[in-house]
Amino acid sequence: MKNSVLKVLVCLSVLIFMSVAAGCKDQTSVFQVNDVVSDPGAFSKPLTLEGIVYAYSKGDASIVGVMDKKELQCTTPNCKKALLAVKSPGAELSVGDEIEASGSIIKESWGYVLKAEDVKVVARHKLGA
């Protein structure tokens, strides 16, 4: 009897520990550019952003303008694309790179930027001519 109670207590302890440990994981939400660009200041927690590199900053090559993946459906040259600035920590990105960038949105003197801690290129798209 004591042995059975001990086994149940050990199992419950393990389950409680696993559920607490799972709750402590750094979980970030995944957003599209159009989810964020209208009010980037509203995002105070780390997030993951999916989008496509569309332009570079003239002053800093590590900052790119990222458009929403839905913008690929627009085939006319006059499409207005909402861009969100992303500062990449590593390798240079190319126009057309579909990325997942994880980090935090910060306010700069010129506007908001997602300061990425990690950027992964998940696909490549041919944009423009």
For residue 31, what are the β-bridge partners? Answer: 49
Question: Considering its fold, how many domains does the chain have in total?
Answer: 1
In a domain, 13, yes or no: no
> What range does the domain containing 101 cover?
28-124
pLDDT digits (tens, 9 = 90+) for 74-107: 877 778 889 999 999 876 899 999 999 999 999 9
Q: What is 31-42 written as a DSSP string?
A: EEHHHHTT-GGG
In a domain, 78, yes or no: yes
In a domain, 87, yes or no: yes
pLDDT attached to residue 3: 57
Look up residue 42 and give its DSSP letter.
G
pLDDT digits (tens, 9 = 90+) for 45-80: 999 999 999 998 888 889 999 999 998 888 777 788
Which tokens in the block code for residue 103? 């980090």
In a domain, 80, yes or no: yes
Task: Give the count of beta carbons closer than 10 Å to the beta carbon of residue 116.
Answer: 23
CATH number at residue 87: 2.40.50.140
